[in-house]
Amino acid sequence: MIHFLQIAVALIFFANKVFVLAGKKSGWLLGAVAASLGVVYFFLVPLYVFTVLEIGLIFLMGYAFVAKEKNPKMEKAINAVIVIVMVTLTVFVFKGMMTVIEFLASTGLLFGTYFLTHKKIQLGWGFYILAHSLAAIVGYGAKQSFFADFQIASAIVSIAGVARERR
């Protein structure tokens, strides 16, 4: 089960990055699906930090998929979700339940997604470069090589995202 989830999460999240880079709204739906599977996967691994992160990503990516324009009430709800996830991650840091690398990777993925969904493209892809690189380190440390390899691939897609925006 874990092996299947590892492959599914890695491949779907990679497709999410490629589709978002291509400007396809369906990329956000793929991201929400991957994050949903990621909740189960990271809980079973166990990487509880990423489990909490995935819950926040479900909301962010789902909102990016369904929103046609900014809705002030939904923006407040999304901001509340981000605050809850960040408070939870901070508690994990202070309780020694995660490493600094896990914290930085999680924060980078959360804010990278937030900035991309809010049309701050270079900032979003920049956070993704850092976050996916650090998530690869965490993945290799947890002996989840397939997942980690696709984190590196996602970092490369993110570099392409920054490069495309600079042109």
As for how many domains the chain has, the answer is: 1
Whole-angstrom Cα distance, residue 91 to residue 86?
A: 9
Three-state secondary-structure class, residue 120: coil
Query: Percent helix, strand, coil in the chain (nearest 5)?
Result: 85, 0, 15
pLDDT in tens, the chain (167 residues): 889 999 999 999 999 999 999 999 999 999 999 999 999 999 999 888 889 889 999 999 999 999 888 788 888 998 998 999 899 888 888 877 677 888 899 999 999 999 999 999 999 999 999 999 999 999 999 899 999 999 999 999 999 999 998 87
Residue 132's pLDDT is what?
97
Residue 155's pLDDT is what?
97
Give this prediction's pTM.
0.88
Residue 112's pLDDT is what?
96
The torsion of the CA quartet 145, 5, 113, 16, rounded to 10 degrees, works out to: 90
Its domain, for residue 42, covers 2-166
Q: Which residues contact 15 (CB under 8 A, 6 or more apart)?
A: 27, 30
Whole-angstrom Cα distance, residue 122 to residue 37?
A: 27
Residue 47's pLDDT is what?
84
Residue 120's pLDDT is what?
94
